[in-house]
Structure 1
Amino acid sequence: MRKEPQALLSSANILISALRQYLLGRDVLFHPDRLSFGIVLPAQPRTSADVEFDAQLKLASHADELGFDALWVRDVPLNSESYPDPVGHADPWVFLGALAAVTSNIGLATGAIVLPLRHPLHIAKAALSVAVLSQGRLVLGLGSGDRPTEYEVFGKDLEKRKSIFQDNWERLAAVLCPDQEILDENGQVRREFAVRPRLQQAPIPLVAVGSSSQSLEWIARHATAWMTYYRQLPVQRDRLTLWHNAQAKVTTEFRGFGQSMVLELVDRPDAAYEEINLGGRTGRRGLIGALSAMREAGIHHVAFNLVSGDRPPHDVMDEIAGDVMPALS
């Protein structure tokens, strides 16, 4: 039976995704020689409605079929007027478990688990569970959060978030390393305990999302990549220069750089690129030009936060996968 063009595209992208993972390992989001693409979930209108689970799982499966590199989920413990996104987000670990069950190749990334407000041993348990369930597809993005009232409700001191973040990162990384160590509140190794399941694949990449009140040298020393928010490219180039200088001071290993990007892809291929809040409005040719410039500047991953406009996310992802991604291969 002759396959339809969309089916052929999906099959080709699945093979490309599998080949990338074979050649590069599971951490294909940040690689020095390519630009990878993610989708931020939930991709639904920014209203006070809760997550539309059925719709989001279908979008996730479709993104996997199209060959996108990652699905990004947020950690929003408490909704309030001080948080700019009114959507009632699901618990990230529950959401990731569902995403792992309906996808096969796409990376599953957190953007970001609020490290100071969650116990590092709980995060380790959840992360290992998702990593094993997804056969090594988890990318663990970690951030500090910055809402004073949220810190207050959780009984945490916002002014101490820098040190809390560092301490929790150390304890989490100790559990996730190949020679697992469980550290108690005093930093002592507790050898009578283990956190299961044990990971059989490559270690889980730890990505710093936002500055988390840390210096870039600290991030370059401890994280495999730095994920930040969208800035106009001349400004982002300045951030990249700072990032490269920080890396040079502390490591010779590659460290990735990624950004989120609000995207309104209009149904007019030649529509010029227009800056909007934290992203751009454009047609596909303008998007190809903007992404090419990002890749040349040294950006390794872009996570699209799709705003609806007049087009459903499903159609936007089809156009990105069918016309934009091949142009940047």
Structure 2
Amino acid sequence: MYNHIKYISLLGLITTTIFLSACGGSSTNSDSSYTPPKVMSEVKTNLKFLNTSLPSAQSTNVDTPVYRYTQIFNKENDQFKISYRLEFDFNIDTNTLYRLEAHYDQLVNSIPYSIKLIEFKKNGQELTYNKEFYCSEEDNPCTNIINSINMRTGQAKLKFNNLLLTKSSWSDGQLNTITLAGYVEGTLTEAPTNVQLTTSQNHELKWSTNPSSQESFSVISDYHQLDFTNHNEATLHLGDGSFWEAWGYILIKNNQVNSFYYQPASSAGLTLFFSCTPQSTPCRNTSYNSNNYEVIFSNTKVDSTLLGIGYLNGSTGL
């Protein structure tokens, strides 16, 4: 009897020990296997202007980067000319965001032809322009700047030695100039898109009131400008944006058509346009080719302010 009780007690002790070890082991394994979100973009800085210090920042979301490296291909005389834009975001508080923009004709051994420090007011994800200070080739040239930019990785570091920025004429406030001192550095985890513009192809895009309608009108299908931001976003511009000309754009995010907007030439000054967006009418039945930047629409539903629902069929490209 004694031995039987001793056996049961020993078995209970072993069982209890195994149970406690399993609980402890599970907790330890869970902690050690935790992987924090990957930082996708980062801004480091010690920039100051007036009595304001701009803060460093990180983002783990590719769709809301704090640093953007944009390659811009603009068509001039049937040839695409490349330029660049670097953007650094600084969240001052829950209501204010500053954005530093540097614009370049080229990146190698070059200084920016324009720099802007823009103040936005924030309301959730919505930004409202408030004011800006700038320098440019045409007015108050940008000087006292040292650049270090890696075109392969997108990493950029700019050093300012009391850079003079002038207030834009349409900005409110008593202050007319500020000086910017310090450095700002932007890095990306994923390298920017390696853009290779291919030979242009014939494209045609049409809008109609229903999928089977024989009556339709043509939409501009050739790109006038292509903007590639970081590794996952592209804005494909249709038309040159002139006031009396038709124009539009296609926004690509993560190789998917995110948004489409188009305003016909005859509607300049009016509210006639049609679009598809994630917030209203999603852009379905579309495909994007990241090799030649072609977008195909197949009975893609778009919404118009005056004409109601319509459909896109065809393709856009270079």
TM-score range, shorter chain: under 0.3
The structure where strand makes up a greater share of residues is 2
Q: TM-score, normalised by structure 1?
A: 0.25
- TM-score when normalising by structure 2: 0.26
Q: Which has the higher helix share?
A: 1
